Amino acid sequence: MLPEVRPGRVLLVGAGPGAADLLTLRAARAVGEAQALLYDALVPQEILDMAPAHCLKIQTGKRAGRTSMAQATINRLMVRLARRGLDVVRLKGGDPSVFGRVGEEMDALRAAGIEAQVIPGVTAAAAAAAQFGFPLTHRGQARRVVLTTARLDQGGLAQDWRAAADPEATLAIYMGGAAAGAIRDQLLAAGRPATTPVLAVENAGRADARLFTGTLDGLAETVPSDLDGPVLIVVGEVAARAAVRAPALLTELAS
Ligand SMILES: C[S@@+](CC[C@H](N)C(=O)[O-])C[C@H]1O[C@@H](n2cnc3c(N)ncnc32)[C@H](O)[C@@H]1O
């Protein structure tokens, strides 16, 4: 009879925005001890290199519009690897709980009786705010932060934007780069003033980050359509506080 294998555990780990020194110590330790690593496309090579040489590394992720592994396949893979006794790290960009499908993965692991835990990471909005010196909340200007996404559904935005009309809400819009024009239209229709400051950050948290600023009526022009890196859009009064710092300091901080 084959000896019974002790199931491994799965850690759902936030890799942060793409700079290795923005990993938490706990996340770095988890990657350094991983026996199997399932990672998303936004995780940089520098972080993958922290895994042991014998670690099995599998890319699951995609960038917008490109094929990637189906969520059900990822769930099955995590369960299978853990059942073979491997300690698995599921590494995701930013924080796993922000548009990271952590709920679905946790459900699948729990249903399979696999021990699972989440290790948080720095989400893109926090990284962008820190890097370009603007707050997400600000007394008298921004009393709430809405983390939202813009997914186009049959040519239109598949969500109700009325909640975003609060002039004291900072909107941090994930996956919105390609929908900037539609976001502008929806927010104007919801009553957000055309002069509301907006910004977009490409590659937040990294040495090659870029900041674009404008106002809501010009959002489509503010976000260049040919950006290669991930883009976060911020709408709200706090966006007027963003400042481009000296490139040398940016590089020093993010490298
Ligand atoms: C699937 S969501 C994952 C978000 C991630 N869990 C987080 O907490 O940042 C991917 C989107 O997050 C945003 N994003 C992720 N990393 C980013 C970065 N370094 N700079 C700007 N936006 C980023 C982009 O809008 C991108 O399309």
- Per-residue pLDDT tens digits of the chain, which is 255 residues long: 667 778 899 999 999 999 999 999 999 999 999 999 999 998 999 999 999 999 999 999 866 556 679 999 999 999 999 999 999 999 999 999 999 999 999 999 999 999 999 999 999 999 999 999 999 999 999 999 999 997 655 445 556 677 788 999 999 999 999 999 999 999 999 899 999 999 999 999 999 999 999 999 999 999 998 999 999 999 999 999 999 765 555 556 665
- DSSP reduced 3-state for 230: coil
Between the CA of 212 and the centroid of ligand 1 the distance, in Å, is 16
Between the CA of 155 and the centroid of ligand 1 the distance, in Å, is 22
Exposed, middle or buried, 205 (CB in 10 Å: 0-12/13-18/19+)?
buried
**pTM attached to this predicted model:** 0.92
Residue linked to tokens 């490139």: 247
Between the CA of 232 and the centroid of ligand 1 the distance, in Å, is 7
Q: Which of 40, 87, 92, 95 is catalytic?
A: 40
CATH architecture of 124-247: 2-Layer Sandwich (3.30)
Beta strand extents in the chain (DSSP E only): 10-14, 36-39, 56-59, 88-92, 116-119, 144-149, 152-153, 156-157, 169-174, 197-202, 210-215, 231-235
Query: Best of 42, 119, 149, 202 to mutate for ligand 1, by most ligand atoms within 8 A of CB?
Result: 42
Between the CA of 42 and the centroid of ligand 1 the distance, in Å, is 8
Nearest to 117 by CA among 133, 106, 107: 106
| Pocket lined around ligand 1, Cβ cut-off 6 Å | 17-18, 42, 92-95, 98-100, 123-124, 174-175, 201, 203-205, 230-232
- 62 in active site: yes
In which residue ranges of the chain is CATH 3.40.1010.10 found?
A: 10-119
Amino acid residing at 141? Q
User: Which amino acid residue places its CA nearest to atom 27 of ligand 1?
Assistant: 175
User: Which amino acid residue places its CA nearest to atom 3 of ligand 1?
Assistant: 99
Q: What is the pLDDT of residue 2?
A: 65
Q: Are 123 and 106 in contact (CB under 8 A)?
A: no
Q: What is the pLDDT of residue 161?
A: 74
Q: Are 239 and 197 in contact (CB under 8 A)?
A: yes
User: Which amino acid residue places its CA nearest to atom 7 of ligand 1?
Assistant: 94
Q: Ligand 1: which atom is nearest the Cα of residue 173?
A: 25
- 107 in active site: no
Nearest to 38 by CA among 12, 19, 18, 16: 12
Q: What is the pLDDT of residue 16?
A: 97
| Token pair belonging to 79 | 């369960």
Q: What is the pLDDT of residue 159?
A: 65
Number of H helices, E strands in the chain: 8, 12
Q: What is the pLDDT of residue 244?
A: 74
**What is the number of other CB atoms lying within 10 angstroms of the CB of residue 168?**
14
User: Which amino acid residue places its CA nearest to atom 1 of ligand 1?
Assistant: 99
In 2-134, which ranges are continuous DSSP H helix? Answer: 25-32, 45-48, 71-83, 102-111, 124-132
In which residue ranges of the chain is CATH 3.30.950.10 found?
A: 124-247
**Would you identify the CATH topology of the domain 10-119?**
Cobalt-precorrin-4 Transmethylase; domain 1 (3.40.1010)
Residue linked to tokens 């400042």: 243
